[in-house]
Amino acid sequence: MSSTHIGFPPETVAVFLLLSVGAILIDLFMHRDDKPIQLKSAVMWSIFWVVISFAFAGFLYANHGAEVASLFVTGYALEKVLSIDNLFVMMAIFSWFAVPDGYRHRVLYWGVIGAIVFRGIFVAIGTSLLSLGPWVEMVFAVIVCWTAVMMLRSGDDDDAIEDYSEHLAYRLVKRFFPIWPKLTSHAFLLKQSEVDAELAKPENADVQVGRVGKASYYATPLMLCLAVVELSDVMFAFDSVPAVIAVSKEPLIVYSAMMFAILGLRTLYFVLEALKQYLVHLEKAVIVLLFFIALKLGLNATAHIFHHEYTISAMASLAVVGVVLFCGVFASFVFPENDEAEATK
């Protein structure tokens, strides 16, 4: 792990906030309608997010040097790759809740906002814990390694459909809100008056809902879906944050890398949804990277404990992430037969 220290220089923080907040506002303005995002548009927006991210990397290079820029790019690439598995989980969630394509980007938008907030909290906690000593890195290494092992063991269960009605987030929403069982536009919550208006429609004559007070709100399936997405992402953060912290202890580098990677996930989702059948080996690449990160964390920790000199540099980490990602994508296009054959069994 690099010992490069930059702290929180005002100019760098200002540029980071300007780029990230400005990009969020642009994205919100451009995708405010309930229309599906077409593949061409999703690809162009994904490229836009990558350009914004590398613009910040260029700023870091110019103001803090090549090592800081490489740490940012490595963390960014790592978070982006690890997030792909999370996006596949979101695809399953949307499918189970039968969320129309036109509403998915709305759920993803609030999911991204939640991810930004929770990543900030986890990065602050994680980088603070590292100050307690190298044993914390060992714990992080075990967490990341365990995640890789579980992904490896669950490889044969990819076709299993999870019942999200038993999900903790689903049950928590039901505990605090009565449920309106039908999608109503893009609303997450409905007022009592809106539910009464819906019940007055002939097609809803057989719908039974409970009442909780005069001013109660009802959760729609879109709200249930969002809650499951948010909690799933929180659980994912327990793995991804230690992985990116393996790159650098610097909170600004870690958080900016994760945030720029997260900001592009909404449009990347629609690209992956279209290309999912062709990226059959990408999850294997994610597993390999998790084992690599666990190794890197373990070497960092034992270097402090046993005073050896076996560590992995920032540039070497960036090279490994790039090569493994390339191999995963390349193998998916060159050797698709095995996975497709298994899918037809």
Q: Is residue 332 within 8 Å of 281, Cβ to Cβ?
A: yes
pLDDT per residue over 128-147, tens digit each?
887 777 888 888 888 888 88
User: Burial, 105: exposed, middle or buried (Cβ in 10 Å; 0-12, 13-18, 19+)?
Assistant: buried
Q: Is residue 79 within 8 Å of 240, Cβ to Cβ?
A: yes
Q: Is residue 246 within 8 Å of 1, Cβ to Cβ?
A: yes
Averaged pLDDT of the chain: 82
- Which structure tokens are listed for 207? 């719908």
Percent of the chain with pLDDT over 70: 91
**Residue 85 confidence (pLDDT):** 75
Of the pLDDT bands very low, low, confident and very high (cuts 50, 70, 90), residue 303 is: confident
pTM: 0.79
**Residue 224 confidence (pLDDT):** 93
What phi and psi, each to the nearest 5 degrees, are found at residue 191? Answer: -75, 165
For residues 332-344, average pLDDT: 60
Of the pLDDT bands very low, low, confident and very high (cuts 50, 70, 90), residue 32 is: low
Half-sphere exposure of 251 (CA within 13 A, CB side): 17
Look at residue 3 and tell me whether its pLDDT is greater than 90. Answer: no
**Tokens 């009565």 sit at which residue?**
178
**Residue 238 confidence (pLDDT):** 78
Look at residue 338 and tell me whether its pLDDT is greater than 60. Answer: no
- Which position has the higher pLDDT, 211 or 50? 50
Residue 182's SS3 state is coil
pLDDT per residue over 80-104, tens digit each?
888 877 888 888 899 889 888 888 8
**Tokens 């969002």 sit at which residue?**
226
For residues 97-121, average pLDDT: 86
Contacts of 342 (CB under 8 A, 6+ apart): none
Of the pLDDT bands very low, low, confident and very high (cuts 50, 70, 90), residue 343 is: very low
- Ranges 159-168, 169-178, 312-321, most confident: 169-178
| Strand-pair partners of 329 | none
- Which structure tokens are listed for 112? 């991204």
Torsion of CA 163, 169, 171, 172, to 10 degrees: 180
Cα 94–Cα 40–Cα 271 angle in degrees, nearest 5: 35
Residue 74's SS3 state is helix
Residue 213 gets which letter from DSSP? S
Look at residue 217 and tell me whether its pLDDT is greater than 70. Answer: yes
**Tokens 């049950």 sit at which residue?**
171
- Which structure tokens are listed for 186? 């893009």
- Which structure tokens are listed for 280? 């059959």
pLDDT per residue over 178-188, tens digit each?
888 888 878 89
**Residue 227 confidence (pLDDT):** 94
Look at residue 27 and tell me whether its pLDDT is greater than 80. Answer: no
Residue 69 to residue 248: CA distance in whole angstroms? 11
For residues 106-130, average pLDDT: 86
Q: What Å distances lie between residue 326 and 77, 172, 235, 285, 289, CA to CA?
A: 12, 40, 27, 9, 12
Q: Which residues of 8-23 are buried (b: 16+ CB within 10 A; e: fewer)?
A: eeeebeebbeebbeeb
